[in-house]
Chains A and B, each alone.
Chain A
Amino acid sequence: MWPLIRKDLLRRRARPASTLVMVAFPLFMSLALGSVIGGGGDGPEFPTISILVENRDEDGFLSRALVGALSSPQSEGYLEATIVGAEGRELMEMGKASALLIIPVGFTAAILDGTAAELRIVRNPSEGIKPEIVVQGAELVAAWLDQGSRLLGGELGQLRGMIEGGKIPPAARVGALAGAVTERMAAADGILFPPVVGIGSAKEATDEDDGRLSAKGIFGYVLLMTSVMALLFVAVRSVTDLFEEQNSGMLRRQFTSPQPVWRIMTAKFLFSLTLGLVVMTILAIFGLALGWLEVPEHPLAAILLGVTFNLAACSLVALIVGLSRNEKQAGILSWLIVMGMSAMGGSMVPLQQLPAGMRAVSDFTLNFWVIDGLTRVMFESAGLGEVGRNLAVLTVAGLVLAVAADALLVRRFREVGA
């Protein structure tokens, strides 16, 4: 089995771009979000920032989504957004807010067309750091929207056609669009949609004593949240490598060797697990070295959570690939599931701040079980006993899914020989 795993590790080493992106993504996110929220001072508290939002692009769905995200309950506590009309500037001058955010007319259309879209921010000159934070936050949003519109290009236009058409688009068109989008994502080799919803919303509420997390804790927490998502994508990349091997003829070639199909499939699974653990270790080392994380009181609990999560992640992705009819379907399905689990399981928005409706389904995501467990181990000195349930869920899910997935993969790829 080892030669099979080894060759995949060597192949990854020879082409490290996608893996590096997955390492960089959580680090970047932590840095970006951490400095917006927790940076600036070393105080343990978030400043509460009031902003005024004037939406001049009232019909655009993107601007409405943006306003919705800003005024959603998750941001309550440190960000108070008030929707205003033309009186915004006047209100700010009266000292009612740190900044005024103006979404210009045609903002949504501009983004969809890929032309320049500008968010305008008016700072309150009488305040120091707070307006700066707003500006940084807005820049981040802008960068994300920009990247998104560039990544998606033409498909966004089609999407708008569907949304603004008012009619329910035919399933085939949605499918084709999803396919095109996934292809672009794949072509970008791992560039992800950043968790726009989560912007500036990382607030730690588990720390009951003071209800706030230190700036340092924020970096660590965001790192943890986003690493989980990155690891899911690492698993997707590794398992779907089977399609790459199918296309290059190497899978077929391997079937002419005495290695049984199940062993070739199991080797791919073990490779995915190994790579996940490597990426996880690198992220942990970065987190520790940057001082975002501290070695917890019960390191074994943290390690076990990481290992069982990787196991479950690889099994789940293998199951999806085993169930898919073709490469495209596998790509779309796994992307949707990873994004969905990340949104609802605490990788985009901290668990404590998830809207109740989403929190209700968190239990069905792998993200929830590992993030919940690791948060307690890393920040609350929880030990093995306290995260026993998390470990059990991840282990059982991992093993059950692994057995099912292996059987499905064998069935799915056996015919490649023919």
Chain B
Amino acid sequence: MTPVLEVRDLRKVFGDLVAVDGISFAVGEGEIYGFLGPNGAGKTTTISMICGLLKPTEGEVLVQGLSVADDPRAVKRRMGVVPQEVALYEELSARANLEFWGGIFDLRGKEMKDRVAELLDQVGLDERASEPVKNFSGGMKRRLNLAMGLVHDPQLILLDEPTVGIDPQARHKILEIVKQIVAKGRTVLYTTHYLEEAEDLCDRLAIIDNGCILAEGSVDELKAQLGEGSLLTVQGGFGAADLTTAASGVSGLQPVEIADGRGMLLVGRDGPGVSHALEGLFQAGLTFDDISIKEPNLEDLFLRLTGRELRD
């Protein structure tokens, strides 16, 4: 089956900055595909190329087999874009905004009325639908911003950080809506730099940085890249080399990320266990100020892939 969205070797160069550096992936029907990456990773640039706002320097984008470059209007009909920056007519009501957007997608009459009413209800704005958007809170604007992209019931929805800068309650609401859309068989590309969102929402995701996909797969697959086991994090007055040497002498202990005074090590599930590992490190003469043990998450994977935290 043709994927709903297929991106091949996409590249975008601005002057001497390579914003997107050869990205390829495919998303199937009913799937939420996540784009997880820090500020400046190239998420928005990729979305802009997918929706035809930006011309790729190289590569191509296919939506249900149609090329964005060759057939932009047909592709745009199948696609709903929710921009990272809220874009609404502040002086118009929520309903008028949605009706305008429906109108330019050729929705008319009763079909339009029903669709707009349904969406207002879905995003929980039906009671304030007639008020000018300028009276809305940030979270309400975000919800309307999302609804705008859904008016024409597109097959593919591109969401660029739809929850940035809002409170947990509003965020929860937006995530709920996204889940509802996908339950109806729609396909979503979801960019975020919130790890929990990506873990909670996405069927598959790509971790991107500096315009490249560093790792791709389901949340479990990605975690498995760290290895099976528990993650042991230690802090203290040791040097990186001491810890590396000490760890190599302990069976079932693998370094993940080691620096002076700080180390992250994977304690293999099939090995002798955490207490054994710690004992081994103590015996090597190391002392720690802080020790923690947890299940590995995507943050740890990101740290391992880039040597940096996801959020700065």
Q: Contacting chain A: which of B48-56, B233-241, B272-280?
A: B48-56
> Nearest CB to that of B53 among chain A residues?
A417
Instruction: For A249, list chain B residues within 8 Å (CB).
Output: 83, 85-87
Contact between chains at A258 and B76 (CB < 8 Å): yes
Contact between chains at A248 and B87 (CB < 8 Å): yes
A10 at the interface (CB under 8 A from B): yes
Contact between chains at A260 and B73 (CB < 8 Å): yes
Contact between chains at B104 and A253 (CB < 8 Å): no
Q: How far is the CA of A256 from the CA of B52 in the complex (A)?
A: 7
> Nearest CB to that of A12 among chain B residues?
B91
Contact between chains at B89 and A11 (CB < 8 Å): yes
How many chain A residues touch B (CB < 8 A): the figure is 23
Contact between chains at A250 and B53 (CB < 8 Å): no
Contact with A along B62-101 (1 / 0, CB 8 A): 0000000000111011010101011111111000100111
B288 at the interface (CB under 8 A from A): no
| Interchain pairs with CB closer than 8 A, number | 74
Contact between chains at B104 and A254 (CB < 8 Å): yes
B132 at the interface (CB under 8 A from A): yes
Q: Which residue, of B87, B96, B101, B104, has the highest number of chain A Cβ atoms within 10 A?
A: B104
Which of B79, B81, B96, B99 sits near A253, CB closer than 8 Å? B81
Contact between chains at A257 and B105 (CB < 8 Å): yes
Q: Which residue, of B100, B101, B132, has the highest number of chain A Cβ atoms within 10 A?
A: B100
User: What are the 3 closest A-B residue pairs judged by CB atoms, nearest first?
Assistant: A3-B103, A249-B87, A417-B53
17 contacts between A and B (CB under 8 A): A6-B103, A7-B89, A7-B92, A7-B103, A10-B92, A10-B96, A252-B87, A256-B51, A256-B52, A256-B53, A256-B83, A258-B73, A258-B74, A258-B104, A258-B105, A260-B73, A417-B52
Q: Which residues of A contact B (CB under 8 A)?
A: 2-4, 6-7, 10-11, 14-15, 248-250, 252-260, 417-418
Given A14-B132, A255-B53, 20 additional A-B pairs, CB 8 A: A4-B100, A6-B103, A7-B92, A7-B100, A7-B103, A10-B92, A11-B89, A14-B92, A250-B87, A252-B53, A252-B87, A253-B87, A256-B81, A256-B83, A257-B76, A257-B101, A258-B72, A258-B76, A260-B73, A417-B54
Q: Which residues of B contact A (CB under 8 A)?
A: 48, 51-55, 72-74, 76-77, 79, 81, 83, 85-92, 96, 99-105, 132, 148
